[in-house]
Chain A
Amino acid sequence: MEASKVIHAIYTDDDVLMSAVKKVKAERFHIEEIYTPFPVHGLDKAMGLAPTRIAITAFIYGLIGLTVATVMMNFIMIEDWPQNIGGKPSFSYIENMPAFVPIMFELTVFFSAHLMVLTFYLRSRMWPFKNAENPDPRTTDDHFLMEIAVDGNEKQLEELLAGTGAVEINLVDKAH
């Protein structure tokens, strides 16, 4: 693959970063990625990222968990080994439902939470033994890094970034 050049602009404050993002977007440059040590509120909107769809997956996973709990409890407590629940041996799922509600609730939450985390990892292309994509370890401490694709306009871009309060501007050859 061809080598592409990117500019890494480093900031030390999230508010400065936010205003820089707005300026860069206003000049219609394409921000590849931003690395921050903590989630910066409103950054996704400022970058113009599409809203997350994780909520929809969470809802679907919750429904799966609810179904699993219902089917599982029905099999264990009613069909396979019928239980006398609360002194009311009715052997019907629906009549014994209150006893199963905590399990239904817990499995809904369990499925929702765990599958959501897994989805997030996969969607972010993170899996075991993978090398970090993070270009600068300082962004895990107290620095913010903005990565902007360069297309023969480094001078103009560097001037713009210098005016936004970046503490460091590096032109990096990103070999793919």
Chain B
Amino acid sequence: MLLGAIGVGYGFFTSHLSFEEVETLLAEEAHHGGGHGEDVAHAAPAHDAHAKENAHGDTAHAKSGEHHVDAHKEHVEHVQHQIANRPWSALYVAAFFFMMIALGVLAFYAIQIAAQAGWSPVLFRVMEGITAYLLPGALIVLAIAVASGTIGHYNIFMWMNPEVTNPESHHYDKLIDGKSGWLNIGWFAVRGLVFIAGWSLYRHFARKFSIAQDTAEDNSNFKKSFRISAAFLVFFIYSESIMSWDWIMSVDPHWFSTLFGWYVFASMFVSGITVIALVTIYLKSKNYLEFVNENHLHDVAKFMFAISIFWTYLWFSQFMLIWYSNIPEEVTYFVTRFQDYQLPFLGMVVMNFVFPLLLLMNAEYKRIPWFVVMAGLVILFGHYVDIFNMIMPATVGDRWFIGIPEIASVLLFAGLFIFVVFTALTKAPLLVKGYPFRKESEDFHY
């Protein structure tokens, strides 16, 4: 079983990466999608090398974009900068998207333990597997963010440019200078590291207690896990909120929304739950999770439905207040999105609200795996576009397109995500044997 699951993880990874090489290099018809485990003969270091090559490919692409513009000498410097921003932003959006899935799952997992939920323990190992991506994923996001301000030309966060806080410079920006006590690279990186350390510590100990509980005589590990989960949730909601200001909202340093932390939280929560459902269905179809049945799927799908509605509620709350009050400094955020991003902006609402609402409304449909998979893919794509809409208007303006840099970045991180998650899934039995609510969860009946 372990070997099989490793093979599956690797199979996913290779198929995605080969897909991506094709896309990035514009080579043709070389992809062999659907390579599942059996045909894998590559070793792990080779994959890592591929990943690095691809990251370089993206930056190289940025440079060629720049040269292209230079050569024509028709575009202003601003546009050139926007085009140069695109691969950075594409990489950042994809990195953030997959990090956010892992973080959403971690929060969901902590809630299940803190609430002593009886239905979900059969899915705990799936959740623990997904959260394994959090540490590498979050470090990558932070590394890209910091690199954009040190190696790159402030391609994502314009406040990282020292010119904007220099009163002598013609780029000087009084508002950003006023915020520079918070928005400066050093403090930004320290905050990021503190958050990542907090999340990873919780994840590390929760996983440790969970595995220890498998063979334990008493419930002491469960009790410890319960306590740190409650503490983590308090830490999480503060750190997640600040993280969303730092890592997303500050791309538009003049604009602010007090609802933003919740809004990002809803997005990560629903994406995370969707990924739990997808991974569960996949493992179930490979017969690794015979103790999971359609009652558990039903409950996960209910969460997908409910949190999609919750996301829409927050999206609309943010939109309506800004639309209603019509204050110029706030409303520019939505003006750019309506003018330049009409299709992704409104399409996202359709995908994240109308689709889940109609597809997952019926109780019977929530129990049919392929139906949940279809709805889940729409939700995931919708939330990728959501993150896209948060970052792109501020960095590339109207020069957006979902093209090679975006797709390649998504595939890169999808490959890494699947590799890390499935490797982590092979490290422990897929059932939490000693968990006090295991029996209740196995017998769970809707």
State whether the Cβ of A98 lies closer than 8 Å to any Cβ in chain B.
yes
- Which residues of B are found within 8 Å of A101, using beta-carbon distances? 316, 320
B285-325 vs A, Cβ < 8 Å mask (1 yes, 0 no): 00000000000000000000000000000001001100111
**Judging by beta carbons under 8 Å apart, are B316 and A86 in contact?**
no
B89 to chain A, nearest CB (A): 28
- Which residues of A are found within 8 Å of B320, using beta-carbon distances? 98-99, 101-102
- Which residues of A are found within 8 Å of B361, using beta-carbon distances? 59
- Which residues of B are found within 8 Å of A88, using beta-carbon distances? 326
B320 (CB) vs chain A CBs: closest residue: A98
- Give bound CA distance, A88 to B325, whole Å: 10
Question: How many residues of chain B have a CB within 8 Å of chain A?
Answer: 10
State whether the Cβ of B445 lies closer than 8 Å to any Cβ in chain A.
yes
A86 (CB) vs chain B CBs: closest residue: B324
State whether the Cβ of A48 lies closer than 8 Å to any Cβ in chain B.
no
**Judging by beta carbons under 8 Å apart, are B326 and A86 in contact?**
yes
**Judging by beta carbons under 8 Å apart, are B445 and A98 in contact?**
no
- Give bound CA distance, A102 to B326, whole Å: 18
**Judging by beta carbons under 8 Å apart, are A86 and B319 in contact?**
no
A39-83 vs B, Cβ < 8 Å mask (1 yes, 0 no): 000100000000000010001000000000000000000000000
**Judging by beta carbons under 8 Å apart, are B326 and A98 in contact?**
no
B317 (CB) vs chain A CBs: closest residue: A102
A45 (CB) vs chain B CBs: closest residue: B445
B311 to chain A, nearest CB (A): 15
- Which residues of A are found within 8 Å of B324, using beta-carbon distances? 86, 98-99
- Give bound CA distance, A86 to B323, whole Å: 8
- Give bound CA distance, A59 to B358, whole Å: 12
- Which residues of A are found within 8 Å of B316, using beta-carbon distances? 98, 101
State whether the Cβ of A87 lies closer than 8 Å to any Cβ in chain B.
yes
Interchain residue pairs with CB less than 8 A apart (17):
A55-B363, A59-B361, A86-B323, A86-B325, A86-B326, A87-B326, A88-B326, A98-B316, A98-B319, A98-B320, A98-B323, A98-B324, A99-B320, A99-B324, A101-B316, A101-B320, A102-B320
Point out residues on A near B: beta carbons under 8 Å.
Answer: 42, 55, 59, 86-88, 98-99, 101-102
A55-B363, A86-B326, A102-B320 are known; give 13 further A-B pairs, CB within 8 A: A42-B445, A86-B323, A86-B324, A87-B326, A88-B326, A98-B316, A98-B319, A98-B320, A98-B323, A98-B324, A99-B320, A101-B316, A101-B320
